[in-house]
Chains A and B, each alone.
Chain A
Amino acid sequence: MSLSALEKGALGAVCALGLLVMAMDVPALRRPVPPAPLPPTPAALATAEADARAAAIRAEAGRQEAERAAAAKAEADRLAAVQHPAETEDVLPAGNGREEVFARCTACHSTAIIRRSGFSRARWDELMDWMTEKQGMAPLEGDVRVLVVDYLAQHFAPRRGPRNANPFLN
C-alpha cells in the first residue's frame, strides 16, 4: 500500500498538531497537584522528637543491658574455668583410698588445700567433723571415713619445722 503525497502531508500535519498540543501547557490538561500539607504543629513536632529520644534511650539501655549481661556471663565463665581446674585423681599421691579422697574432697574444694596441709591422724579425723559441722559436708562415717583419714594421715602428715615432736603431745 502506498500513500499519495496529499495523504502524507495530512498525516504529517496531524502529527505536528499532536506534538504541538503535547508541548503546550494547557491548564485543563494538567494532572491535579494536591496542596502541600501543612507542617506539623510545634506540639506534634515536640512529641515526635520526645518519642524518638525515648526510643533511642530504650534501645541504648537495652544494648547496654545486653552488653552487661554478656560481659557478666563471659566473666562468670572465665572465673568458673579458674575455679574448676582440670584436676584428675593422680594429682594426689598413689595409695589406698586415693579415689575416695579425690571424689569426696573435690565435691566442695580443689585439692590445693589438701596438698598444702599436713596433720596428724587425730587432727585429720577432727577435720572431718569440723567440715560437717561448719561447712555442711555430708557426715563421713564407718569404713569410708577410716579409709579417707588413713590416706590423708599417711600422705599429708605434719612436715613443717624441726620441732614437731612436742613434749606435751603423745
Chain B
Amino acid sequence: MSRERSLQELYAQDPERADALAFGRRGALKGPALAAMGAALGATIPFAGRMPEGLLPAALAQPAGGTPTLRMDGKAPLILLGERPLVAETPESMLDDDVTPTDKFFIRNNGGIPERFAGDPKTWRVKIEGEVNTPLDLTLGELESRFETVTLRLQMECGGNGRAAFTPETRGNQWGNGAISNGEWTGVRLRDVIRAASPKDSARFTGHYGADPHLSGDPSRPSISRGMPIAKAMEDTTLVALRLNGEPIPLLHGYPVRLITPGWPGSLSQKWLTRIVLRATPHDGPGMGGTSYRVPVKPIVPGSSNNGADFVDIASMPVRGLLTNLAHGSRLPAGTRRLDLRGHAWAGDLTVRAVHVSADFGASWTEMRVNDAPNRHAWQRWQGSLELPSDGYFEIWTRATDSQGRMQPHAAANWNPQGYAANAMARTAILVG
C-alpha cells in the first residue's frame, strides 16, 4: 500500500518526472521502473512493453483514500459519490443481470429527494401544456386507462458516465462506467400523450418539470428541468413510466411517475414528473445551455475555459461496453489461462456491431459474440473467452463498436468543462496467481 501511494504521489507532484521514471521514451516500462511498478502492484506485468505511454495501470488509477459505500435499505452497496445531492454509482461487476435489478440502479439527483406522495398514486397529476391545442391535466389513473401500456427493457445512462477518464479532471461527479441501467419499464408512450394534446405545428421541443426541490431549499427554483427535440419525444421507446421491473417506481428513482428517454442523457428522464411543456424554441431550464449536457463541435484544449456558446446539446449517448462477470481487482488462481467473459454493450440510439477484448493493452483483440437487443434501446449481451499467456497482472480492456463503425477510444475524447459523453474503453485489472 505504501509503495502504491508513493507512486501516485509522485504522479501528483511531478507527473512528467514520474512518467519519465515509470515509462521509457517510447512508453515502455524498463528495468528498475518496471520492477518498481510491478512491486507497487504486487505482480509482474507481462505486457508492460505494450502499456501506452502516459497511462497508469488501472489498478493504480483508483481514487485515493478508498471508496465510500452507500448503505441504504432497498439499495445494493453502490459506490457513494456524494450525499447531498445523493449520487451513487453501480460497480461494473454488479451490472451482470440482463435486466438491472432495482436495488442495483445507479442514483443521480440534482436536487433534494421529495417526500413520497402519500395519496393514492393514481391521483398524481401530470400536465401537458404549451404549444398544444388541448392542454391536458391527467391523473395517472387516466393516463393508464386512456393510453396503451407497454413494457420495454431500456437503457438509462447518465450523460456524465465515464467522466472519471477525462484528463484533466472536469467538474461533476467522477463516474467510472457504472452510471448505466437497463431496467424493464412499464408505462405509456409519451408520443400517445402528446398526440392526445393535439400539438400545434410550432411544437418543436419539450421542457420537463419534476417535484424534486432545489438544493438551496428555494421552492420556486426547479433543481433541474431539461428538454429535447420533439422527434425524440415521439419515438416509440420514450415512455411516461409508471413501473420498474413490475413494481411501482421506488421513491429514489422517481415515484410515482417519470420519463424514460433511453439512449440520451439520463437527465432527460425526468423523475417525479409533474409537467411537460411543448415549446417552439429549445428549453431554457436549469441544465440547458452553456456547458450543461453540451459538448464542443470544434474540440477545445483540455482544461481550458469555455462558456459553451458554440457547443451542441448531447443527443444520442456514445457506444460503450462493460465487462460484468469479472470484478476490477479480481484475484484468480495461479495457472488460470482461459477466461470466460461476458458483459453488456450499448450505443445510444444506435446498436452495437461488435465487442472486442484485449489482455495486452490493445496490442491484440479478440472478438466476442454479441446478441441482438430484445427491443430497441435495450442493451446487448456479449460473451466469449480469452486466453492468457501466463500468471501475473493483466488488464482486460473492453471495446465496443457501434453500428456506424465507431469504436470506444483508449482515452476520453472531446474534453469539455463539465465532462460529458466520455466513452473511453473499460479497463478491468486482474491478478492471476
CB-CB under 8 A for A76 and B169, given A84-B84, A112-B81, A158-B303: no
Q: Taking CB as reference atom, which chain B residue is nearest A156?
A: B169
Our pick among B54, B118, B173 for the contact of A69 (Cβ within 8 Å) is: B118
Q: B18 in the interface, Cβ–Cβ < 8 Å?
A: yes
A109→B82 contact, CB < 8 A: yes
B214 neighbours in A (Cβ, 8 Å)? 136
Whether the pair A110, B113 counts as a contact (CB closer than 8 A) is: no
Specify which chain B residues have a CB less than 8 angstroms from the CB of A71 in the assembled complex. 116
Chain A residue numbers with a CB within 8 Å of B303 are: 120, 123, 158, 164, 166, 169
B167 touches A109 (CB 8 A): no
**Count of A-B contacts judged by CB separation below 8 Å:** 132
* Stretch of B9-17, B238-246, B275-283 on the interface side: B9-17
Residues of A within 8 A of B174 (CB): 116
- A60 within 8 A of partner (CB): no
Of the candidates A76, A112, A130, A165, the one whose C-beta lies within 8 Å of that of B15 is A165
CB distance from A114 to the nearest CB of B (A): 10
A137 to B, closest residue via Cβ = B216
**Known pairs A75-B251, A158-B169, A161-B168; A85 contacts B83 (CB<8 A):** yes
How far, in angstroms, from A113 to B88 measured CA to CA in the complex? 12
Q: Find out whether the CB atom of A166 lies under 8 angstroms from the CB atom of B302.
A: yes
The answer to whether A162 and B118 touch across the interface, beta carbons within 8 angstroms, is: no
Contact B19 A82 (CB under 8 A): no
Residues on A with beta carbons closer than 8 Å to the beta carbon of B286:
134-135
A-side contacts of B19, CB under 8 Å: 162-163
Q: Across the two chains, which residue of chain B brings its CB closest to A106? A: B84
Contact B83 A83 (CB under 8 A): yes
Among the listed A137, A159, A165, which residue makes an inter-chain contact with B16, where contact means beta carbons less than 8 Å apart?
A: A165
- The reply to whether B80 and A118 form a contact with Cβ atoms under 8 Å apart is no
Q: Which of A84, A159, A162 contacts B83 (CB 8 A)?
A: A84
Q: Are B305 and A122 interface neighbours, CB within 8 A?
A: yes
Q: Tell me the A30-88 residues at the B interface (CB within 8 Å).
A: 65, 68-69, 71-73, 75-76, 78-79, 82-85
B169 and A118 contact, CB distance less than 8 A:
yes
B234 on interface, CB distance cutoff 8 Å: no
* B219-236 interface code vs A (CB 8 A; 1 in, 0 out): 001000000000000000
> Given A112-B81, A113-B82, A134–B290 Cβ distance below 8 Å?
yes
Query: Which residue among B81, B86, B215, B252 has the maximum number of chain A CB atoms within 10 Å of its CB?
Result: B215
Q: How large is the interface on B (under 10, 10 to 19, 20 to 34, 35 or more residues)?
A: 35 or more
- Measured between C-beta atoms, what is the minimum distance from A158 to chain B in Å? 4
Find out whether the CB atom of B167 lies under 8 angstroms from the CB atom of A164. yes
Residue among B18, B83, B251, B290 facing the most chain A CB atoms (10 A cut-off) = B83
The interface residues of chain B, by DSSP majority, are classed as loop
| A-side contacts of B15, CB under 8 Å | 161-165
A contact residues, total (Cβ < 8 Å): 45
Known: A72-B118, A163-B54. A113 touches B169 (CB 8 A): no
Q: Is A108 an interface residue (CB 8 A)?
A: yes
Q: Would you call A96 an interface residue if the criterion is a C-beta within 8 Å of the partner chain's C-beta atoms?
A: no
Tell me if B42 counts as interface (CB < 8 A to partner A).
Answer: no
The answer, yes or no, to whether B112 is at the interface (CB within 8 Å) is: yes
Known: A85-B83, A112-B82, A162-B18. A123 touches B54 (CB 8 A): no
Say yes or no: A136-B86 contact (C-beta < 8 A), given A65-B118, A162-B15: no
Contact A113 B301 (CB under 8 A): no
Whether the pair B85, A109 counts as a contact (CB closer than 8 A) is yes
List residues of chain A with CB within 8 A of the CB of B80. Answer: 112
Checking A69, A83, A122, A126 against B84 with a beta-carbon cut-off of 8 angstroms, the contacting residue is A83
Contact at B16–A83, with CB atoms within 8 Å?
A: no
* Residues from chain A with Cβ under 8 Å of B83 in the complex: 82-85, 110, 112
On whether the beta carbons of B167 and A161 are closer than 8 Å, the reply is yes
Q: Tell me how far the C-beta of B21 lies from the nearest C-beta in chain A, rounded to whole angstroms.
A: 10
Report how far A68 CA is from B80 CA in the complex, Å. Answer: 28
Roughly how many angstroms separate A65 CA and B216 CA in the complex, as a whole number? 30
How many Å lie between the Cα of A135 and that of B116 in the bound state?
24
Bound-complex Cα distance A115 to B301 (A): 24
Rounded to whole angstroms, the CA-CA distance of A148 and B352 in the bound complex is 46
The contact sample of 23 A-B pairs, CB cut-off 8 A, is A68-B116, A75-B116, A75-B251, A76-B115, A78-B72, A79-B251, A83-B86, A110-B84, A112-B82, A116-B82, A116-B173, A122-B305, A127-B171, A158-B303, A159-B11, A159-B12, A160-B169, A161-B167, A162-B15, A164-B167, A165-B15, A166-B303, A169-B303
Given A83-B112, A127-B171, 12 new contacts (CB under 8 A) = A75-B251, A76-B113, A79-B252, A113-B173, A116-B174, A119-B168, A134-B290, A136-B214, A160-B167, A162-B19, A162-B54, A166-B301
9 closest Cβ pairs, A-B complex: A161-B167, A72-B116, A162-B19, A112-B82, A162-B15, A110-B83, A158-B168, A159-B12, A168-B301
